[in-house]
Amino acid sequence: MSEQKTPYEVLGGEEALRALVQKFYEIMDTMPEAQGIRKVHPENLRGSEEKLFMYLSGWLGGPNLFVERFGHPRLRARHFPFEIGKSERDQWMLCMVKAFDEMKVQEPLRSELLHSLLRLADHMRNKEETE
């Protein structure tokens, strides 16, 4: 009987996830196309980076660091103070796709995670917009 690995393990565990999250924020911080979403974040990205790492760790089936430290994620509630529309969602996803590309995340994990992250990012939208 083979034991199925979690996405956290397939990705490469803590080291790979930290590298992915660092790359994500590096891209967000430097890419002109991401300046709208960058402005939503504090000047110093370290706290945001650590929280995303902790959240994704548990979300991917690794240690549930975010819940252990902060309790239930309540993602929409935590993001409600920030205006998030299609543009912000798309910029966030652009940074994530580029981070996945640069970290060479392999298929099928790449597509599975990016589709799930898109659904999650879309769920964070809270700005009234006309379609």
| pLDDT tens-digit readout, 15-71 | 999 999 999 999 999 999 999 999 999 999 999 999 999 999 999 999 999 999 999
Ordered structural domains, the chain, with CATH? 9-123 (1.10.490.10)
In 3D, which of 67, 87, 62 has the Cα closest to residue 10?
62
Angle at Cα 69 formed by Cα 40 and Cα 98, nearest 5°? Answer: 40
Residue 14 has pLDDT above 70, yes or no: yes
For the entire predicted model, the pTM comes to 0.92
The residue type of 63 is P
Helices 13-30 and 86-102: angle between axes, nearest 10 degrees = 130
Is there a contact between 90 and 33 (Cβ–Cβ < 8 Å)?
A: no
